[in-house]
Amino acid sequence: MEVSEHILAMVDHRLIETGWRESDVDTYIDLICDLAELSGGGYYSDVPQTQYDCEDPEDNLILDLAAFTDASLIVSNDSDLLVLGRPKGWKGRGIISPADFTKRAEAAMRYR
């Protein structure tokens, strides 16, 4: 799992917006960073901006991270990114929703 400064800022903003306390948000952000590290991925604070396939600059920051880390999959609920990922993905990378990711992960666990 790869995360960037931009992704963590968006998570922070959304959680505060929904009423989370700052201390709980900080704990959650730390957990995300720990999970990224434990998964073999990491946190990136200075991702080069090289992708301009979306009209929304925020979406391009997600694509920048995927390109920079050579990610094979992007998990996002953003409708523009999901459309960009259909039908064959974006530059060889799948783009799926968190719900679809969860379904696939649960299915994979059943076959282990």
The C-alpha atoms of residue 54 and residue 57 are separated, in whole angstroms, by 7
Structure tokens at 106: 């649960």
HSE value, Cβ hemisphere, 13 Å, CA-based, for 64: 19
Q: Which tens digit of pLDDT belongs to each residue from 95-111?
A: 999 999 999 999 998 88
pTM: 0.87
- The answer to whether 75 touches 98, Cβ cutoff 8 Å, is yes
Share of the chain above pLDDT 90, in %: 89
Structure tokens at 51: 């992708």
